[in-house]
Structures are given as structure tokens and as C-alpha cells.
Amino acid sequence: MPFFVKSFRPRRNDSALVMFDGINSVERAQDFVGCSVFLERKNVEQQPATMDDAEELPLSYFIGFTVVTDERSERSERTPQTELGVIDYIDDATENCLFVLDDGTMIPVQEEFIEWIDHKNKRLVVSLPDGLLDL
């Protein structure tokens, strides 16, 4: 039976939060938890890989990106120093969104932490405050 998608938010590489027209209760929605959803590619919004401004990108765009630290303060000739992991999903359950890495590490989604985005190689270079990863 076809359903019409009201909203679609990717949660991980292999899952999403989907709201369907006509499914208006939690009880009814529970019947569909864990089900496969098939969408035509033309109906899924794609983000161009050439966007430079992180503010214009949906957070789901970064799922699958490798997060690396950049210890240099100078903007030219950046060399990532430490690979932290791959963004597995976005935790947006609270007001403060988090990148959740494949090892469970959580990094607050803060513009001031993002140094640059390598769209081609799917790498997010960050500069984190001292001690943040020790929490």
C-alpha cells in the first residue's frame, strides 16, 4: 500500500524518521518502526556537493563524513592531525544538536568548531576546545 511522505529526516546512514500522511498517532506509527521505505531518487532532496557555507546545509548532509581535528591556527596549509571517527547520526533530540560518531563520541554542532568542509573527500575538519572530548 503506498503512503505519501509528509516529512523525511535522515537519522543514520541506514535509517530515517519518516512522517506519513494519514498516520496521526504514535500507536499507529509504531506498526511501521523498522520497516523499509522505498523512495524514488527524484523525490529525495539532494544537496549540491559544492556548497561552501555550512549554515545552508542540513545536518543530515554530514552523516558519513569523517571528523578530523586541525591543530593549526593559520587558515592556509591546513593539515588534519587526528581522525576522530565517522559521523554515524545526528542527535537532535534536544535543543543542542550533536554529531554522534561511530564510536559513540558526541561533538556539539557549533559553527565555531568547524574549520572547513572537504565535500569531495567527505571530511569535516574541526577545532575543538581543550577537554571537550574528555567529558
**Domain of residue 90, CATH code:** 2.30.30.240
Number of domains in the chain: 2
Instruction: Read off the pLDDT of residues 84-119 as tens digits, 9 standing for 90 and up.
Output: 999 999 998 888 899 999 999 999 999 888 888 888
Is residue 7 predicted with pLDDT exceeding 70? yes
Question: How is the chain classified by DSSP, letter by letter?
Answer: ----EEEEEEEETTEEEEEETT--SHHHHHTTTT------GGGS----TT---GGGS-GGGGTTPEEEE----SSSS----EEEEEEEEEE-SSSS-EEEETTS-EEE--GGGEEEEETTTTEEEE-PPTTGGG-
Is residue 51 predicted with pLDDT exceeding 50? no
Determine if the pTM surpasses 0.85: no
Is residue 76 predicted with pLDDT exceeding 50? no
Domain encompassing residue 23 = 5-43
Q: Residue 49 — very low, low, confident or very high, per pLDDT cuts 50/70/90?
A: very low
Same domain, 90 and 71: yes
In a domain, 72, yes or no: yes
